[in-house]
């Protein structure tokens, strides 16, 4: 694009051509007392003009160029001296840079006779206020959550880490959206090899636009076809802060409240923020129950099918008679019954997510009760199947992070399929294949099952047993932690 001309008419014509068919672009011309022509260019609704009018336009229109000990020769010099304490000002030599800054919400100022323009950062668009994240609420701890403004999110982290070793690198990604992405890390704690790898991948991203941090997540993942997430997402600044102090890396994306944390392990998705806000003795019990419920969430349907269909001799005789009596009128095999109810349960769960908040929980509960009761009375589904699906659903809700629970929903179907074919043998094969995949999976050089596989006794203090803070090192020697 051409350089900025000394003629305002030429510059205005070029800008009007560039912003053609943009109904919200505003061009405002002023002539000062010394007849100097001034042109302001901005987007309506994205610029806060009150401070511009009060601090710059009114003094210029009524008093002209202010003069002090030494004479001010140009408006550009005046803005640099007089307004620099109020906001951030950039001098643009080309129309391309000026257009880019105006699109970001800055105010463009062009002066007749000067071959440069000023971009004043006075963004005034509305942003959401800081509030508690609805998806990651806690009983104790901070009630602040990230918002869609990336600079606000960075400030929430800096308020918690008051140290110059907290570093932030900025990237601009997206051909059309020009989305700002900030890489945050603790110098001396984060692994330099991981940092170099993440920077390299961010610079190679070629995409039309970034709408959410999920777009970046798929570009960064090393095993894209794995069902297990290799990058953690969160809305909580305290979780990001704790992760940075453990030597991890955080990615903040403008326009979304979800930050990305890497590297992660399998156990990261099974840990809750409340684990670090409650007494460690109570957390040990809760974590044990959570791990048990996680296993139940994907294995119980397959185990029930294996026992009732292939290995009934392993069930107590009284319970076997009860199950056989309940299934007496059922027209389908046990595996088909289980599959139907799993599909219905997942359908109700997804419907509850997309139904308005006021109706979602009510519709989910009523739908489950009505469908389950009607299916049992009609003899289509046996009562034990309803009990197994209900326990499986309750166990799945014990997993703290939604993204960590999604892989187990898929594994539930896979194990049901193998168990329906081969019983316990099929269940064992399914578990073995899952473990082989988890052992071979890595997140930016960190083994996914560490510190269990490979075993690392120095990092196991925060896995199942949550040790007191005074007994933990906080991070390992390499700056990584699960």
Q: Which pLDDT tens digit goes with each residue over 173-183?
A: 998 989 999 99
Of residues 65, 102, 101, the one with CA closest to residue 81: 65
- Residue 422 pLDDT exceeds 70: yes
Contacts 24+ apart (CB under 8 A), 65-71: 65/32, 65/34
Domain assignment present for residue 468? The answer is no
Answer yes or no: are the C-beta atoms of 169 and 203 closer than 8 Å.
no
285 and 406 both lie in a single domain: yes
- How many CB atoms are closer than 10 A to CB 15? 21
Could you give the CA distance from residue 300 to residue 277 in angstroms, rounded to a whole number? 31
Q: Residue holding tokens 């890396």?
A: 249
Q: At what angle do helices 424-440 and 402-422 cross, to 10 degrees?
A: 140
Q: Is residue 418 part of a domain?
A: yes
What is the rounded average pLDDT of the residues 63-67? Answer: 53
CA separation, residue 18 to residues 10, 11, 55, 122 (Å):
12, 11, 29, 22
One domain, residues 195 and 99: no
Q: What is the pLDDT of residue 480?
A: 43
Which of helix, strand or coil describes residue 217?
helix
Q: Let me know if residue 70 belongs to a domain.
A: yes
The answer on pLDDT for 78 being more than 70 is: no
- Using only C-alpha atoms, the chain has a radius of gyration, in whole angstroms, of 30
CA angle 378–380–381, rounded 5-degree value:
110
pLDDT at 76: 60
Instruction: Please check whether residues 193 and 217 belong to one and the same domain.
Output: yes
Q: Which residues pair with 41 in a beta bridge?
A: 27, 108
What does the pLDDT read at residue 351? 76
Amino acid 346: pLDDT: 85
- In terms of Cα–Cα distance, which of 172, 169, 185, 180 is closest to 255? 180
120, 138, 169: which is the final residue of a domain?
120
Q: Are strands 107-111 and 37-43 parallel, antiparallel or unpaired?
A: antiparallel
The CA-based dihedral angle spanning residues 396, 400, 403, 406, taken in that order and rounded to the nearest 10 degrees: -10
Of 416, 350, 344, the C-alpha closest to 380 is: 344
In a domain, 465, yes or no: no
- Kindly state whether residues 380 and 286 are assigned to the same domain: yes
Q: How far apart are CA 122 and CA 87, in angstroms?
A: 7
Residue 349 and residue 450 in one domain = yes
My answer on whether omega of the bond before 454 falls inside 30° of 0, hence cis, is yes
Give me the pLDDT at residue 185, please: 96
Same domain for 164 and 260, yes or no, is: yes
Rounded to two decimals, what is the model's pTM? 0.83
Closest alpha carbon to 385 in 426, 331, 343, 327: 327
Determine which helix (DSSP H) or strand (DSSP E) holds 180, and give its type and residue range.
strand 179-186
Residue 306 is part of which domain span?
279-459
Answer whether residue 100 is part of any domain. yes
207: pLDDT strictly greater than 50: yes
The per-residue pLDDT for 481 is 42
Which among 236, 264, 292 is the end of a domain?
264
pLDDT at 408 over 90: yes
Q: What is the DSSP letter of 343?
A: H
Average model confidence (pLDDT) across the chain: 84
Residue linked to tokens 């187990």: 408
In a domain, 181, yes or no: yes
Nearest-10 crossing angle of helices 334-354, 360-377? 160
The dihedral through the CA atoms of 453, 458, 460, 462 has a sign that is: negative
Domain assignment present for residue 139? The answer is no
Q: Is 35 exposed, middle or buried (0-12, 13-18, 19+ CB in 10 A)?
A: exposed
Q: Which helix (H) or strand (E) holds 120?
A: strand 117-120
Can you tell me the mean pLDDT for 108-119?
Answer: 84
CB contact at 8 A, 387 and 282: no
| pLDDT at position 359 over 70 | no
Same domain, 55 and 158: no
The verdict on residue 182 lying in a domain is yes
- At 63, list the tokens: 């008093």
- Tokens read off for 192: 């330099």
- For 185, phi and psi rounded to 5 degrees? -160, 165
User: Would the pLDDT of 79 be above 70?
Assistant: no
pLDDT at 65 exceeding the cut of 70: no
> If we measure between CA atoms, which residue out of 211, 190, 191, 418 comes closest to residue 301?
418
Q: What are phi and psi of 205, to 5 degrees?
A: -65, 125
**pLDDT at position 154 over 90:** yes
β-bridge partners, 109? 40, 118
Predicted confidence at residue 472, as pLDDT, reads 65
Final residue of a structural domain among 264, 298, 326: 264
Q: Which of 118-122, 145-149, 369-373, 382-386 shows the lowest mean pLDDT across its residues?
A: 369-373
Same domain assignment for residues 208 and 63: no
User: Are residue 105 and residue 17 in the same domain, yes or no?
Assistant: yes
Residue tagged 């970046």 (tokens): 216
Pick the closest to residue 228 from 404, 395, 482 (CA basis). Answer: 404
Mean pLDDT of 219-233: 91
- 309 with 247, same domain: the answer is no
Question: How far is it, in rounded angstroms, from Cα 291 to Cα 36?
Answer: 73
Task: Give the integer Cα–Cα distance in Å for 473 and 461.
Answer: 9
Total domains present in the chain: 3
Residues 313 and 412 in one domain: yes
Q: Give yes or no: residues 363 and 447 share one domain.
A: yes
| Structure token digits, residue 475 | 């991070």
The mean-pLDDT minimum among 87-96, 235-244, 259-268 falls in 87-96
């Amino acid at each position: 694009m051409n350089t900025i001309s000394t003629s305002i008419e030429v510059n205005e014509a070029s800008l009007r051509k560039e912003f053609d068919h943009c109904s919200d672009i505003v061009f405002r011309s002023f002539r000062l007392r010394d007849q100097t022509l001034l042109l302001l260019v901005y987007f309506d609704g994205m610029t806060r003009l009150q401070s511009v009018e009060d601090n710059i336009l009114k003094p210029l229109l009524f008093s002209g160029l202010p003069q002090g000990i030494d004479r001010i020769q140009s408006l550009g010099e005046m803005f640099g001296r007089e307004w620099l304490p109020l906001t951030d000002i950039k001098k643009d030599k080309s129309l391309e840079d000026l257009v880019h800054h105006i699109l970001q919400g800055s105010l463009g100022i062009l002066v007749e006779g000067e071959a440069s323009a000023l971009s004043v950062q006075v963004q005034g668009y509305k942003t959401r206020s800081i509030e508690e994240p609805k998806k990651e609420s806690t009983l104790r701890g901070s009630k602040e959550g990230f918002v869609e403004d990336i600079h606000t999110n960075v400030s929430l982290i800096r308020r918690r880490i008051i140290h110059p070793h907290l570093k932030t690198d900025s990237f601009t990604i997206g051909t059309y959206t020009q989305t700002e992405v900030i890489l945050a890390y603790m110098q001396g704690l984060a692994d330099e090899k991981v940092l170099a790898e993440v920077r390299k991948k961010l610079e190679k991203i070629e995409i039309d636009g970034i709408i959410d941090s999920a777009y970046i997540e798929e570009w960064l993942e090393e095993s894209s076809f794995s069902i297990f997430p290799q990058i953690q997402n969160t809305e909580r600044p305290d979780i990001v802060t704790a992760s940075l102090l453990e030597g991890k890396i955080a990615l903040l994306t403008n326009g979304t409240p979800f930050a990305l944390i890497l590297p992660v392990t399998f156990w990261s998705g099974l840990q809750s923020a409340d684990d670090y806000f409650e007494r460690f003795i109570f957390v040990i019990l809760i974590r044990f129950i959570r791990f048990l419920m996680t296993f139940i969430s994907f294995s119980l349907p397959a185990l029930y099918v294996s026992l009732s269909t292939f290995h009934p001799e392993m069930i107590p005789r009284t319970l076997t008679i009860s199950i056989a009596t309940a299934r007496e009128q059922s027209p389908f095999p046990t595996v088909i019954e289980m599959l139907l109810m799993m599909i219905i349960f997942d359908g109700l769960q997804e419907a509850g997510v997309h139904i308005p908040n006021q109706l979602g929980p009510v519709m989910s509960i009523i739908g489950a009760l009505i469908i389950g009761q009607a299916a049992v009375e009609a003899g289509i589904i046996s009562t034990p199947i309803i009990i197994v699906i209900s326990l499986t659903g309750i166990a799945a809700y014990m997993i703290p992070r939604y993204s960590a629970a999604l892989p187990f929903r898929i594994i539930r179907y896979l194990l049901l399929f193998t168990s329906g074919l081969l019983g316990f043998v099929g269940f064992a094969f399914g578990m073995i294949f899952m473990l082989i995949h988890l052992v071979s999976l890595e997140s930016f050089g960190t083994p996914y099952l560490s510190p269990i596989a490979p075993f690392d006794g120095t990092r196991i203090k925060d896995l199942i047993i949550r040790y007191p803070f005074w007994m933990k090192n906080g991070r390992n020697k390499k700056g990584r932690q699960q």
